[in-house]
Amino acid sequence: MSVRTLRLPSPTHPRRALGAAAATAAVALAAVTLLPTGQAGAAGTTLRSLAEANGLYFGTAISQGDLNNAPLTAVAGSQFGMLTPTNEMKWDTIEPSRGSFSYGPADRLVSFAQTHSMRVRGHTLVWHSQLPSWVNSLPGSQVKTAMENHINNEVTHYKGKLYAWDVVNEPFNEDGSFRTDAFYNAMGSGYVADALRTARAADPTAKLYLNDYNIEGLNAKSDAMYNLVKSLKGQGVPLDGVGFQAHFILGQIPSSFKANLQRFTALGVNVAITELDDRMPLPPSADKLARQAGDYASVVNTCLTVSGCVGLTQWGVGDPDSWIPGTFPGYGAATLYDANYQPKPAYTASANALGGGTTSPTPTPTPTPTPPGASCQVSGKVSPWNTGLTEDITITNTGSTALNGWALTYTLPAGQTVTNSWNASLTPATGRVTATNLSYNATLAPGAATSFGFQATHTGDTAFPTSFSLNGTACTTS
């Protein structure tokens, strides 16, 4: 993995990159051992600081009512560096009747963010849902004026205070056709460009995004978003990024997630994970929580490895305030924090993916070929389910020489195909696989151990891999 350019270093200058020396210092500061579960939140070990050391932000969604929840606000104000109001910037709250604007609830959230040096993603200006009935009742000829007035008023109210706006939310149906809401019906697809231009005119400093769900993988809906972005950029319409909501289901992160994000950044826009959660059938179990940790690590790693991915926002702080149980009965436990706002395995996995828990960020990705005395022991655990598995592998350097770069090669059982990995780079996806260190875990001192993991699909054989060798020397397994 190459060393990343730092982005988003400060709340007041959100897009100014730090210099190389500051970057090194920031990475070194962040590379500290994570505290045990329950203590996460101490200075220097937060998701926020770890993300920022990688040039990313880690955010959360908060609603007005959440501000009365002391455990929630303690976590939110320390662990997250970006705040999205859950509902308070939506049309039905801001302009419940025509020309009558109400900013109190959203202002309180912006104030909380400012108090905690968090930045704010505005969500959302134009959306078919949580749209007051007066908009839907307008004659088509009046919708454009009403939309422009709404955008102009709201964006002007927050001018200079927001990092970004989700200007248009969820414009597409699942098959990639435009959603036939009041805006499309009145203006056709041109409402999107009009909304973006209106927002840019009202606040030239806020980043402007389109945001949608089920566009994380390559599919008809993401194709539609891709074509829209390409067309808008071609016309010179102001558009800075695409938000991928990322409401995932346990074990179902699309294998094309990274490739899909990359095709968008190739169009000259940033990408952001805007509403991350990972739901599971209730009740949670140790096995499900471990698989969820793998999912979160994989999402964080995807953003880390896509140049142009600016950050991640989780939808809600903890499981008690997640929208999932109310919308998907029988599902829940979708966030990084449990019912008592204690960090879950997914928290630790996300922090580790961001470089927490390491002691040295030595950026030396090239494996040393067969160093003298390289000997190793490998242990691990497979957590299978019907069609997939999560696997954690620990390598111990049992030799007397420190490794400065490592590559562990092993044979996957037939039918297993790697879909994503964390703490190592894996290739190819089947057969004889080589896992190579990342920049932050390259060094392996004598007696030291390091762990990485991956998810794979399988066709029945869920056995642990065989025939391990580290930098060309065979390992023992335990």
Query: Whole-number minimum distance, CB 142 to ligand G2I, in Å?
Result: 25
- Compare residues 168 and 346 and give the one whose CB is closer to ligand G2I: 168
What 3-state class would DSSP assign to 411? strand
What 3-state class would DSSP assign to 357? coil
Over its C-alpha atoms, the chain yields an Rg (Å, rounded) of 23
Ordered strands of the 425-427 beta sheet: 425-427, 432-436, 407-411, 466-470, 473-474
- Compare residues 158 and 410 and give the one whose CB is closer to ligand G2I: 158
Query: Whole-number minimum distance, CB 136 to ligand G2I, in Å?
Result: 15
- Compare residues 199 and 475 and give the one whose CB is closer to ligand G2I: 199
Which x/- pattern over 155-194 shows residues binding ligand G2I (rule: CB under 6 A)?
Answer: --------------x-------------------------
Q: What distance in Å separates the CA atoms of residue 451 and residue 467, rounded to the nearest whole number?
A: 17
- Compare residues 169 and 260 and give the one whose CB is closer to ligand G2I: 169
| Whole-number Cα distances in Å, 77 to 31, 46, 81, 162, 397 | 21, 10, 8, 17, 40
Footprint on residues 427-456 left by ligand G2I (CB under 6 A): none
214 touches 168 (CB < 8 A): no
- Compare residues 86 and 471 and give the one whose CB is closer to ligand G2I: 86
Query: Whole-number minimum distance, CB 295 to ligand G2I, in Å?
Result: 18
Query: Whole-number minimum distance, CB 122 to ligand G2I, in Å?
Result: 12
Quickly count: other Cβ atoms within 10 Å of residue 30's Cβ.
24
- Compare residues 69 and 245 and give the one whose CB is closer to ligand G2I: 245
- Compare residues 167 and 435 and give the one whose CB is closer to ligand G2I: 167
- Say whether the peptide bond before residue 283 is cis (omega within 30 degrees of 0): yes
Q: Which residue is nearest to ligand G2I (CB)?
A: 323
403 touches 371 (CB < 8 A): yes
Binds ligand G2I by CB under 6 A, chosen from 39, 130, 156, 467: 130
Binds ligand G2I by CB under 6 A, chosen from 78, 245, 368, 450: 245
Q: Name the pairing type of β-strands 388-397 and 376-384.
A: antiparallel
- Compare residues 103 and 323 and give the one whose CB is closer to ligand G2I: 323
Only one residue has tokens 């769900």, namely 213
Query: Whole-number minimum distance, CB 372 to ligand G2I, in Å?
Result: 56
466 touches 433 (CB < 8 A): no
Task: Kindly give, in sequence order, each residue whose CB lies less than 8 Å from that of residue 363, ignoring residues fewer than 6 positions away.
Answer: 3, 439, 440, 442
Query: Whole-number minimum distance, CB 209 to ligand G2I, in Å?
Result: 12
Footprint on residues 57-86 left by ligand G2I (CB under 6 A): 86
Query: Whole-number minimum distance, CB 213 to ligand G2I, in Å?
Result: 6
Q: How many chain residues are in contact with ligand G2I, going by CB under 6 A?
A: 9
Q: DSSP characters for 10-59?
A: -SSSTTPPPPHHHHHHHHHHH--PPPPTTTTTSTT-SHHHHHHHTT-EEE
Query: Whole-number minimum distance, CB 275 to ligand G2I, in Å?
Result: 5
Query: In the chain, count of helices (H) and strands (E)?
Result: 14, 22
Of 125, 155, 123, 302, nearest to 217 (Cα)?
302
Which DSSP category does 340 fall into?
Answer: T
Q: What distance in Å separates the CA atoms of residue 103 and residue 28, rounded to the nearest whole number?
A: 41
Specify which residues 122 forms β-bridges with: 165
Distance from the Cα of residue 40 to its chain's centroid: 19
Footprint on residues 315-374 left by ligand G2I (CB under 6 A): 323
Of 74, 141, 29, nearest to 342 (Cα)?
74
Q: Is 87 in the site for ligand G2I (CB under 6 A)?
A: yes
Q: Which residues belong to the active site?
A: 170, 275
What 3-state class would DSSP assign to 430? coil
Task: Kindly give, in sequence order, each residue whose CB lies less than 8 Å from that of residue 469, ignoring residues fewer than 6 positions away.
Answer: 408, 409, 410, 475
- Compare residues 7 and 207 and give the one whose CB is closer to ligand G2I: 207
Query: Whole-number minimum distance, CB 140 to ligand G2I, in Å?
Result: 24
For binding to ligand G2I (CB under 6 A), which residues are involved?
A: 86-87, 129-130, 169, 213, 245, 275, 323
